[in-house]
Structure 1
Amino acid sequence: MTLEQQLIQKTYYQMFIDEHENIHPIRVLGEAFQEEAQKNLPELSNIRFAQGEVYFHNKDFETAIYKWENIANELEPWAKKNKADAYYELGMGSTAEDIYTAIQTDDPTLNAEVALKLFSLYLDRGKLDAAVSTIKKIVLQNPDYPNVTEIARSFFEEREDWGNAVELAVNEAKRTESLKWFDILLDYVEKGVTKSFAPNYFSHALAMLYYQNQQKFEQLVAAFWNSGSEEESYFTWVNEINHLLLNLDLQRSDGWTVLSQLHKEAYFDLIGGKYFIKQLHDYIPDLLTNWIRLADQNHVVPASAAVLSWNELFPASLSVTIVKEAENLISTTEIELNELEECLTLFNSIMDWAEAHDMGSNNRVKWMVEQLTDFETYHLLVTGLSGSGKSTFVNNLFDEDLQDSPTSTVVMFKNADGQEITEITDFEITRLEEFADFQERMDRMRNALESVIEFQHPNGFLQENGLAIMDTPGLKGNHHDRYEVLKNFHVADTILFVLDSNAPFSDKERAALKQIQELAPDIPVHFLLSKMDTIANEHDAIRIYQEAKGTIHGLLPDAKLFAFSSQYDQQTQMNELQEFIQSIKHTRNLEDKRLAKLLYYIRTMLSSFLQKRMDVENQLAEAVRWNEEMHTKLNGAVNQMHDVVANKTETLAKSYRSIKEAMEEEIAAAVPKMLQECSELIKEDSNFSRIHLDLNDEMNSRLQEFLEEQMMPKYYRELQDWIGKCTEEFDQSQEFLNELADGFNSMYGEERLTLSCDFKVLDDWRRDTDRMTSGFQLESVNILLRRTPSQFLLKSAGKLFGALSQNKAMLYNKYKAFVQNEDYTEIAEDVGRQFFQPFELFEKSLERDVSMFFKGPLGCLDRAVEEASAEIQSNREQLDLMNTNPEMFRDPLTLFEVRLRQFEWMTVAGKGIQTVY
């Protein structure tokens, strides 16, 4: 055992007792101490050091400390360390820490041991930050010290201190180049604890691993790749790994299967429509360069096709060397590829993107793709000019009148166990429950070509021949009209063009046939000569057949002709027709041809989406303009309505006030006169001591009678006439609002505005006026009982002199003159106030009631204004977004174009099949 091991394990004392194994170490060391002490220059430090060890092992820590305090040679630093160990064992951690940290030595072993003891002490005292700092310092200064890195790794992992754990693994992997540490790092990556580090932190270690063990390198790079694929720093990860791979001498022959698959997945993910081209421009070229450099046998062709397709759309982004290598590889490499699956994957990706971006469900295109992937069924498309006899031929095939008139919609007739009729449009799929629904669709004129009808029906002829018949509306003379029908032709495997035997190959038929060959040059065309039963005799029929056949061979040498008549023997004709169809069925390379058509539909979709994008932009701009115009008009209508309300309120209130004022004037005029006429009630023999009381009662009685029996009925009639005029005014207003609503609804194109006024207001007025005019009770008015000077004198005189007969003539004249000449203005005003008091609230509420009458229309117009504002804002935001970030829409379509071209490079172009455009 080395001296260092003895010092570490505290077994230095064994140097003194090797020859005295049977004697207790304390005694041996004691005798040695006494013997050394007798010398002239004794050296007792070594013996004291050894004694301290023995006391320590026997847990006499205080004695051990005492011994170690008196060490004055080269063992002094170890003695200090041992003394701190003893204090540590005594539970005096603070004292131990002070001693440990005070030790100064150049001995790396002692430094390591002190640090490890400090590390344990910090852990026991809960000083975790100090423990982390200490263990990292040990690893940095003496990483090869036994178990140091393992202690550090265990400590970091137990605390889940993954930052320090990863740092330790990377540093040790680079320092030792040990696969063990790369395996530890791989475990950390797979646990997902390396994501907080910048990708370039690992580059040096990965490069070292590449030259040491390529299999482990691929495994670790793949782990990093998968770990970063879901992070925001994904592009940074891809970029760093690409740069790393570019700087390595990769050889395709080394078999980088995992990395090749990762490059494929990453490439298709990046161009899947989630990212903008400007985001990809700096990453894709390096990714493709690396992919083709390391592509395994299964990925050589896809990688080469990816390079060529990307280079087509983004020239000069890839090196010429890589492009030439891709061209060479794709022309010389054979590959087993599930072409249909790859094509459908691309198609479905585009469909998912389109649906997510509100581009419609595209059900009709999906249906066409389903037909093209049904390789068990051969599609025969029957077409011809309107009136050529095409519908008669189709009905004859099914031996029933499926079409009682020329069809206006594309129909696919298929064999099935039961009848099922389905209409497919871009936006919805509808099951037609009744045959009448099918015939209604066949007869319609508007939007007929925006749908396809699938007619499934039990049919032996279709079943025996593995056939589906696709019937089209009759072709017309107009080129554009024909195109709307012919755009569905690519679903067909063969076209059967129906000719009218009475005038075969007219100019219109030749023009239609030429257009078919331009639109679908790869689809074989054959002919059916219909209406042969209308030919007068057999000789003419044979002549017409031979002439038509000669013309056909001049135009299409490989085309065949079949003569058809609804009058021929049914069974014979069907047998001949079956032979004819079998002769024109071209099933060779059917899957390749349909694959080309699938690509055509994908390309057509991409073009249509761009057009839809432009249409949406134009529609939004038009919607903004239209809503701004409507907003202006609606605001004008609102302002006009406020004017109408103000005007009607003023008019009706003024009319009501004029009635009231006239009534007030009448009361003001009638009351004084009525009261003055009460003077006739004064007689010479009247009891003048109380005549003022009797007159006051009589005057009130006459006023009550006058107001209740004359004025109130008259006021009622006046109010009814007023309500009638209000009704006329309101009717005029409602008529005006109806016209206003009709005008706006005409612009909206729907019944959006209903400007209905609240005529219940008139009912409320009638009820209120009936109630308020049903009766009147005048509160007693003090007419002659007031304390005016004249009244006071008269009443006093009446009481004083009324009993004397000689004074009655004088009182009679005075009273009569007083009643006749008294000013009753105040009385009239008081009476008027009482009369009109019940109507005060009614009058005050007139403005509110008129507003209530127009509340509904005003609210409706206000809501329309708000909706127009919201539409303007929403459309502007969408338009701004589209104009600000046009790449949000165009970039995914461009990337789908890249994928399409890649697929064409791998399949259609490689096989020499002509691409359909």
Structure 2
Amino acid sequence: MTFEEQLINKSYFETYMDSGNRTHPVQVLGELYLAEQKNDMPDLANIRFAQGEVYFHHKDYEAAIFKWENITNELEPWAKKNMGDAFLELGLLTSAEELYLSIETESDVLKIESGLQLLSLYIEQGKLDKAVAVIKKAVALDPDYPGVTEIARSFFEEQNDWGNGVELAVNEGIRTGSPKWFDVLNQYVEQGHTAGFAPEYFNEALSVLFQVDRSRFEQLAVSLWQSYRNESTYMAWLREFNQLFSGMDGNRRDGWTQLSAVYQESYFELISGDMLIKEISPLIPEMLTNWLKITSPMNSLVAASSIIAWNEVFPGSITASAIHDAETLVLNSNEYHDGYKDSMMLFQSIIKWAEDHEIEVGNKIKWMVQELHESNVHNMLVAGVSGNGKSSFVNTIVGEELLTAPTAAVIRFMDQENPAAYEITDTEIRQIMDVEDFKEAAGVSRKNHKNETIIDFKADFPFLREHDLALIDTPGVNRNNYEKHPLYNYLRFADSLLFVLNASDPFTEKERDILEKISEFFPDLNIHFLLNKIDVIYGQQEAAEVFDQTWAEVSQYYPDAKMFAFSSNYDNAQQLKDFSNFINTTRNAVDLEQERTAKLQFFVRRAITYLLNKRVEIENNHMESISWNEEMVSKLNGAINQLGDIEEEKSRSIQKSFRKIKDETRAEIIEKIPELLRSCSDLVTEDSDFGKIHSEMDQEMNKRIEEYLEQTVMPKFHADLNDWIQFSKDEFDQSQNYLGEMAEGFNSMYGEERISLDCDFRVLDDWRRDANRMTNGVHYEKVNIMNRSTPQAFFLKSAGKLLGVLPQNNTMLYNRYKSYLETEDYYEIGVTIAKRFLQQFEIFEKSIERDVNLFFKQPFNVLEESVEEAKSEIDHGKNELEKLRTNPELYRDPLTLYEVKLRQYEWMTAAGRG
């Protein structure tokens, strides 16, 4: 045992014990102590130190402290440490801490031992920060010190101090290269304790582990990879690890199964379309290259095809040596049989992406993929130039006269037990209800070739059922549709092409041009020919010669093709039998799985192209929408101004008409009332009672006025009001007609019945009701006519009372009254009567403007709402346009990455097939 080990174990006292001597250490040391004291210069420190150890072991801590506290030689630091231990045993923690901290020594062993004691002390006190500091200091002094790293690890784990625990495991793994520490680190990673560390922190540990144990390296790398997957530092991890791993000499012979799998999973995750290309493009090339160099045999085709596909879409991003290695692997791979499944999943991903972005992949593409997936029939596409009798052939095969006129739709006839037919465009699917509906949907008059329609016609077709055949009829090719004929859009869907020739002029230069264009883009398509209208050639021998001549010319261009002679005038049953034999000879033995996969991949590419073009279309549509709506806002505001002018004009005209009636009535009353009152002079006679004549005359005058108003004025005014209402109706009708034309113009621009500018004619009903109510009768209030306080009236009234009692005065009073009545100015009376009579009509007049406003209110509201809708559409279009232009990659990048994945599947499908 070394001297330091004796000091650590407090067994230094054993150096004073003789071997075999059974005397108790206390006695031995006591005797040595007494003996040493007898010396001239006694040195008792070491003996006292040893005595303290013995007392400590016998738990006499106070005695031990007494022995150690006066030691001043080289054992003093250890004596302080031992006193600290004693105080610790006595529970005097503060005193123990002070002693441990007061130790001054060059011995790392003593420092570590003191630190470990402080660790226990701080743990007991709950001073965890100090505990961490002392244990880290101890490890730093000498990590090889027995048990110190294990003590540190246990402490960190007990305290859930994973940061320091991970740091310890990393440092010890790097320092020692011990698999034990890398296993600890891997455990921490799997438990999620390393996510807070920057990925580059583990570079050195991984480098060391790669040299020590590649199996453990793979395990740790995969664990770290998975731990960072859902963290913000994931991309940094991919960058750091791949830069590190690219400098390592890993190869496929080492069997990196787990790492290869995580490479594959992460690569497909990166190109799933959720991230932008600019985010992943700096990582992918190095990542793919590393994947390729360690890929397992099971996944070598996936890795190799991934590299080729990425480099095809992003040329020059991957080294030539990696490309060559990948091509070699693909060429030497076994056939891959999951290409169809993978491609279908990709197509479904594209459809979902489009739906999430509120875009629809065209129905025609989806229909073709669905039919490809659900039916295993042989799709024979029938084509030819216009007028070659293609329809009569199709009618013969399906057994019905379904095609009776030229068509503009692409029609697919297929056998099905339950008949059903649908009209399919990119934007709509409509069920066809009957044969007439079918003929209308297929007719040239309804469709054009720029927006072709598919008609999916499934019914009981025995010949098609017997031969697992579906016929696809296309419109005839002519000079108007030669360049953009729908035929070219469905050739990849077809399994073979039956090209119809006219026996009168077969295999013309125009037909050769069409077929050459088809062969250029679809070189693997089986092409066969039908020589139609063979019956126009007179004589069997001449017909045979035409057939042979035509076939000789056709076979020069298409040596593998077959040709069938047909005429609508031949026996149908025999022709069907002959055509059945013809079908059997034209069907080549093909790999149906390979064919179906290739077709599906073609339509996946078409869907991607469709959506890329849709992006341009969407932008153009937004621009057109903005421009169109801005124009509509201008037109609608113009219409609102016009409507305001109309309202103002009609309000002014109607009010003027009413005011004219009212003014004429007022003038008439003011004119007629004085005449009426003057005519009352005939009521005065010489026999009149001039003492009462004022009252009697006043009563009679009011009576005549009331009768005049009731019998003359009111009926006429009622009639005038009805005429005024009719006039107003004419004005309103004129306005409504104009607004109807305006609405029709706007609806023509909208392309739908969107605007209705209906005025509120209930206003006229209100006016009729008010007119009837106001002219139903005269509410007359008597007017003081004869009792007015004019000088002449006052004189006559006084004279009548005074002189009327004398008969001889009657003649004089009669003459005076007569003269007064006939010459009096009753103008003010007329004005008063007119004012009272017209008072309610003047109130009504004030409401006319409001009523006219109500009449036009709904058109105003409709136009203003339309303006707001157009402005809203403008704002929406500008916002969408801004998003498209600001971040075009948000739309383009996912589709580009889908193309990368498609190219990979195409390479994988081609693997092992030369």
Within 5 Å, give how 1:374-385 maps onto structure 2.
Answer: 376-385=376-385
* 1:853 aligned residue: 855
Q: Of 643, 653, 656, which aligns to 1:654?
A: 656
Measured after TM superposition, the shift of residue 853 of structure 1 is 0.6
Q: Of 626, 630, 633, which aligns to 2:635?
A: 633
Please tell me whether the aligned partners of residues 51 and 67 of structure 1 are also in contact (alpha carbons under 8 angstroms): no
Measured after TM superposition, the shift of residue 733 of structure 1 is 0.9
- Residue 879 in structure 1 maps to residue 867 in structure 2: no
* 1:615 aligned residue: 617
Please tell me whether the aligned partners of residues 422 and 455 of structure 1 are also in contact (alpha carbons under 8 angstroms): yes
1:239-291 CA-partner distances (Å, limit 9, x unpaired): 22222222322222212222223323333333333333322331222222222
1:35-89 CA-partner distances (Å, limit 9, x unpaired): 99999999889878987897799xxxxx999989977774445545654665579
Tell me, in whole angstroms, the C-alpha distance in 2 between the residues paired with 1:11 and 1:822.
156
* 2:108 aligned residue: none
Which one is further off, 601-610 or 682-691? 682-691
Please tell me whether the aligned partners of residues 756 and 859 of structure 2 are also in contact (alpha carbons under 8 angstroms): yes
Q: Of 746, 755, 758, which aligns to 1:756?
A: 758
* 2:118 aligned residue: 114
Alignment-mate amino acid for residue 112 of structure 2: P
Please tell me whether the aligned partners of residues 118 and 134 of structure 1 are also in contact (alpha carbons under 8 angstroms): no
* 1:92 aligned residue: none
Q: Of 520, 528, 531, which aligns to 1:529?
A: 531
Within 5 Å, give how 1:504-523 maps onto structure 2.
Answer: 504-523=506-525
* 1:538 aligned residue: 540
Measured after TM superposition, the shift of residue 489 of structure 1 is 1.9
Cα distance, 1:6–1:778 mapped onto 2, change above 3 Å: farther
Cα distance, 1:795–1:509 mapped onto 2, change above 3 Å: same
Please tell me whether the aligned partners of residues 330 and 911 of structure 2 are also in contact (alpha carbons under 8 angstroms): no
* 2:773 aligned residue: 771
Within 5 Å, give how 1:676-687 maps onto structure 2.
Answer: none
Alignment-mate amino acid for residue 207 of structure 2: A
Q: Of 498, 501, 510, which aligns to 2:500?
A: 498
Q: Any idea what SS the aligned residue of 1:499 has?
A: strand
Tell me, in whole angstroms, the C-alpha distance in 2 between the residues paired with 1:53 and 1:796.
155
Cα distance, 1:454–1:684 mapped onto 2, change above 3 Å: closer
Please tell me whether the aligned partners of residues 51 and 67 of structure 2 are also in contact (alpha carbons under 8 angstroms): no
Tell me, in whole angstroms, the C-alpha distance in 1 between the residues paired with 2:410 and 2:461.
19
Within 5 Å, give how 1:682-693 maps onto structure 2.
Answer: none
Alignment-mate amino acid for residue 241 of structure 1: F
Q: Any idea what SS the aligned residue of 2:318 has?
A: coil
Tell me, in whole angstroms, the C-alpha distance in 1 between the residues paired with 2:785 and 2:36.
148
Query: What TM-score do you get using the length of structure 2 for normalisation?
Result: 0.83
Tell me, in whole angstroms, the C-alpha distance in 2 between the residues paired with 1:68 and 1:710.
146
Cα distance, 1:112–1:373 mapped onto 2, change above 3 Å: same
Q: Any idea what SS the aligned residue of 2:492 has?
A: helix
Cα distance, 1:672–1:482 mapped onto 2, change above 3 Å: closer
- Residue 205 in structure 1 maps to residue 197 in structure 2: no
Tell me, in whole angstroms, the C-alpha distance in 2 between the residues paired with 1:290 and 1:321.
12
Q: Of 538, 556, 560, which aligns to 1:558?
A: 560
Tell me, in whole angstroms, the C-alpha distance in 1 between the residues paired with 2:86 and 2:809.
149
Cα distance, 1:389–1:673 mapped onto 2, change above 3 Å: closer
* 1:844 aligned residue: 846
1:594-626 CA-partner distances (Å, limit 9, x unpaired): 544444444444444333333333333222222
Measured after TM superposition, the shift of residue 764 of structure 1 is 0.7
Alignment-mate amino acid for residue 751 of structure 1: E
Measured after TM superposition, the shift of residue 638 of structure 1 is 0.9
Alignment-mate amino acid for residue 580 of structure 2: Q
* 1:60 aligned residue: none
Measured after TM superposition, the shift of residue 712 of structure 1 is 2.8
* 2:724 aligned residue: 722
Q: Any idea what SS the aligned residue of 2:414 has?
A: strand
Tell me, in whole angstroms, the C-alpha distance in 1 between the residues paired with 2:754 and 2:818.
75
Tell me, in whole angstroms, the C-alpha distance in 2 between the residues paired with 1:889 and 1:653.
62
Measured after TM superposition, the shift of residue 549 of structure 1 is 2.9
Alignment-mate amino acid for residue 548 of structure 1: T
Within 5 Å, give how 1:4-43 maps onto structure 2.
Answer: none
Measured after TM superposition, the shift of residue 849 of structure 1 is 0.9
1:116-170 CA-partner distances (Å, limit 9, x unpaired): 32233227xxxx7777777777776787788877777677767766656555554
Alignment-mate amino acid for residue 227 of structure 1: S
Cα distance, 1:683–1:431 mapped onto 2, change above 3 Å: closer
Measured after TM superposition, the shift of residue 759 of structure 1 is 0.7
Tell me, in whole angstroms, the C-alpha distance in 2 between the residues paired with 1:793 and 1:558.
138
Measured after TM superposition, the shift of residue 198 of structure 1 is 2.8
Tell me, in whole angstroms, the C-alpha distance in 2 between the residues paired with 1:657 and 1:37.
147
Measured after TM superposition, the shift of residue 503 of structure 1 is 4.0
Q: Of 883, 888, 891, which aligns to 2:890?
A: 888
- Residue 217 in structure 1 maps to residue 221 in structure 2: no
Which one is further off, 201-210 or 801-810? 801-810
1:284-339 CA-partner distances (Å, limit 9, x unpaired): 22222222222222333443333334334433333344334434444455564533
1:812-865 CA-partner distances (Å, limit 9, x unpaired): 888888777777666555444432332344222222111111111111111111
Measured after TM superposition, the shift of residue 736 of structure 1 is 1.2
Query: What TM-score do you get using the length of structure 1 for normalisation?
Result: 0.83
Alignment-mate amino acid for residue 215 of structure 2: Q
Tell me, in whole angstroms, the C-alpha distance in 1 between the residues paired with 2:13 and 2:823.
151
Please tell me whether the aligned partners of residues 277 and 893 of structure 2 are also in contact (alpha carbons under 8 angstroms): yes
Alignment-mate amino acid for residue 118 of structure 2: V
Measured after TM superposition, the shift of residue 186 of structure 1 is 3.5
Q: Any idea what SS the aligned residue of 1:777 has?
A: coil
Q: Any idea what SS the aligned residue of 1:491 has?
A: coil
Measured after TM superposition, the shift of residue 637 of structure 1 is 0.9
* 1:258 aligned residue: 258
Cα distance, 1:232–1:794 mapped onto 2, change above 3 Å: farther
* 1:624 aligned residue: 626
* 2:315 aligned residue: 315
Please tell me whether the aligned partners of residues 80 and 103 of structure 2 are also in contact (alpha carbons under 8 angstroms): no
Tell me, in whole angstroms, the C-alpha distance in 1 between the residues paired with 2:800 and 2:135.
130
Q: Any idea what SS the aligned residue of 1:411 has?
A: strand
1:669-716 CA-partner distances (Å, limit 9, x unpaired): 444555566676677777777666555545544443343333333332
Within 5 Å, give how 1:815-826 maps onto structure 2.
Answer: none
Measured after TM superposition, the shift of residue 722 of structure 1 is 1.7
Please tell me whether the aligned partners of residues 389 and 533 of structure 2 are also in contact (alpha carbons under 8 angstroms): yes
- Structure 1 unmatched ranges of 5 or more: 58-62, 90-94, 913-917
Tell me, in whole angstroms, the C-alpha distance in 2 between the residues paired with 1:404 and 1:246.
70
Tell me, in whole angstroms, the C-alpha distance in 1 between the residues paired with 2:292 and 2:709.
111
Please tell me whether the aligned partners of residues 441 and 448 of structure 1 are also in contact (alpha carbons under 8 angstroms): no
Tell me, in whole angstroms, the C-alpha distance in 1 between the residues paired with 2:91 and 2:824.
128
* 1:915 aligned residue: none
Tell me, in whole angstroms, the C-alpha distance in 1 between the residues paired with 2:258 and 2:324.
25
Alignment-mate amino acid for residue 557 of structure 1: P
Q: Relative contact order: is structure 1 or structure 2 higher (C-alpha 8 Å, sep ≥ 6)?
A: 2
Alignment-mate amino acid for residue 211 of structure 2: Y
* 2:714 aligned residue: 712
Measured after TM superposition, the shift of residue 734 of structure 1 is 0.9
**Superposition CA RMSD, Å:** 4.8
Percent identical pairs in the alignment equals: 42
Alignment-mate amino acid for residue 113 of structure 2: T
- Residue 278 in structure 1 maps to residue 278 in structure 2: yes
Please tell me whether the aligned partners of residues 77 and 103 of structure 1 are also in contact (alpha carbons under 8 angstroms): no
* 1:247 aligned residue: 247
Q: Any idea what SS the aligned residue of 1:275 has?
A: coil
- Residue 480 in structure 1 maps to residue 482 in structure 2: yes
Please tell me whether the aligned partners of residues 489 and 520 of structure 1 are also in contact (alpha carbons under 8 angstroms): yes
Tell me, in whole angstroms, the C-alpha distance in 2 between the residues paired with 1:3 and 1:845.
121
* 1:394 aligned residue: 394
Please tell me whether the aligned partners of residues 388 and 499 of structure 1 are also in contact (alpha carbons under 8 angstroms): yes
Tell me, in whole angstroms, the C-alpha distance in 2 between the residues paired with 1:239 and 1:109.
44
Tell me, in whole angstroms, the C-alpha distance in 2 between the residues paired with 1:848 and 1:291.
82
Cα distance, 1:829–1:630 mapped onto 2, change above 3 Å: same
Tell me, in whole angstroms, the C-alpha distance in 2 between the residues paired with 1:130 and 1:661.
109
Cα distance, 1:96–1:368 mapped onto 2, change above 3 Å: farther
- Structure 2 unmatched ranges of 5 or more: 106-110
